[in-house]
Structures are given as C-alpha cells and as structure tokens.
A and B are shown apart, each in its own frame.
Chain A
Amino acid sequence: NAGVTQTPKFRILKIGQSMTLQCTQDMNHNYMYWYRQDPGMGLKLIYYSVGAGITDKGEVPNGYNVSRSTTEDFPLRLELAAPSQTSVYFCASHITTNTGELFFGEGSRLTVL
C-alpha cells in the first residue's frame, strides 16, 4: 500500500495564479483532511471530508476550495494565489470512526512569489 500520496512535492507560483494540490489514499478511508503548516504555527485545518460528496470548512478555509468525488481523492484548489498561502500543505486520512490515527502524506511545499 502506498498510503497517502501528495503531488507535487514542490511548486512555485506567481501571485494570482491558480493550482491544484493532489491527494490520493489507497486505504479506503472515509475521512480526509487538508492542513497547512507554517513555521512555529503547528498544523491548521483548511478543509475536511467525511466521505465522497461531503466536504466542510476547517479553521482557515479562505482562498481554498476542495472536492471529493471519490473515496480515494481529495484535491485542494488554490485560486488567485497570494504570498500568505506560502506554506507546507499536508493531506491526511483516517478510518471511519470519529477518532483514530491520522495517516499523513509527505507534504507539498508551495511558494507564492
């Protein structure tokens, strides 16, 4: 099993550009999450999904969009990139219960110039 796979690992964007961070998991997990990690700030939840077709906002959703058309995929869309979106983004998933081990991807480092 590959676990949680994120692409790309690194990306540089210009202000105003758009892009999609891809996340795929092969563990048949219903719950999926997107976090951003800034230096000294821990992880902040952007969006999450409890199953295909269902998404909800986390703590810092502004400037982002998500979709969940399949159990496996949970892409994160950045529209009109801003320097404040420079960060490391992590996708994670876990099984169907409300609590349990989060499985993280390796992260995607995004720089907006």
Chain B
Amino acid sequence: GENVEQHPSTLSVQEGDSAVIKCTYSDSASNYFPWYKQELGKGPQLIIDIRSNVGEKKDQRIAVTLNKTAKHFSLHITETQPEDSAVYLCAASMFYFGTGTSLTVIP
C-alpha cells in the first residue's frame, strides 16, 4: 500500500513569517493530494488540494506544490497569523494520511 511521510512533526514560527510542511508518498499511481487543517477537538477541514496533472495551486496565503518525479508535495503558508495555529494533515487520496504537523504561530 501507499506510505505517506510528513515533516516536521512540530513547527513554530513568528507571526508574519512563512511556514512550509512537506510530505512524501511512495505509490507513483497516487493522483490526489489534499491538505487538512485540524483545530483542537475538531474534525479535519480541507484547506487546499492538488491533482497530479498540476504542479502548483494557490489560494490566498496558502499554496501547495507537487513534484511527481520526486514523489513529494508541500504546503506553504505565507504571512502566518495566530489563527493558523493547528495540526495540518497531508494525504494521498482518501485512504492514506500523514502523521500531522502541529503548527504554532507566535504573536
């Protein structure tokens, strides 16, 4: 089966700085890569996703890049704000999730 690895497990940034979270996957047939934000005590919510026919996608302060050759994809958050503090989960399809990154934005 697929194996999704996510790094780092924790990340602290100053407000206004950028944050980058990286995930790698093992199955070259995977073609859908969503990112979810999970606040404490809540279920995950989709923030952005990318399909394998696209290299980059942006939505305001959030962007995702995909390198199919290297089998990795990354989440980029610019101009971070305290409300960005949460756990971020990457996934390959609906079936395989990364282990999560706990992001803390320090005011």
A residues sitting closer than 8 Å to B (CB atoms) are: 4, 31, 33, 35, 40-45, 48, 58-59, 90, 92, 94, 98-99, 101-102, 104-107
Instruction: Give the CA-CA distance A107 to B39 in the complex, in Å.
Output: 12
B56 within 8 A of A: no
With A101-B49, A106-B43 as given contacts, are A48 and B94 in contact (CB-CB < 8 Å)?
A: yes
Contacts of B6 in A (CB 8 A): 42
Q: How many residues of B contact A (CB 8 A)?
A: 26
- Could you jot down 23 A-B contacts, CB within 8 Å? A33-B94, A35-B97, A40-B9, A42-B89, A42-B97, A42-B100, A44-B97, A45-B94, A45-B95, A48-B94, A48-B95, A90-B43, A94-B94, A99-B49, A99-B93, A101-B34, A101-B49, A102-B36, A102-B44, A102-B46, A102-B94, A106-B41, A107-B42
Closest chain B CB from A12 CB (angstroms): 18
B107 close to chain A: CB less than 8 A: no
B43 interface neighbour in A40, A94, A107, Cβ under 8 Å: A107
Report the separation of the CA atoms of residues A42 and B95 in the bound assembly, to the nearest whole angstrom. Answer: 12
- Cα-based distance from A46 to B51 in the complex (angstroms): 24
Known: A101-B46, A102-B94. A41 touches B32 (CB 8 A): no
> What string of 1s and 0s marks CB contacts (under 8 Å) between B34-57 and chain A?
101000011111100101000000
| Cβ contacts under 8 Å, A44 to chain B | 97
Nearest 8 CB-CB pairings of A with B: A104-B43, A99-B32, A43-B97, A42-B99, A42-B97, A101-B46, A42-B100, A45-B95
Binding site for A on B (CB under 8 A): 1, 4, 6, 9, 31-32, 34, 36, 41-46, 49, 51, 89, 91, 93-100
Distance of A99 Cα from B96 Cα, bound (Å): 13
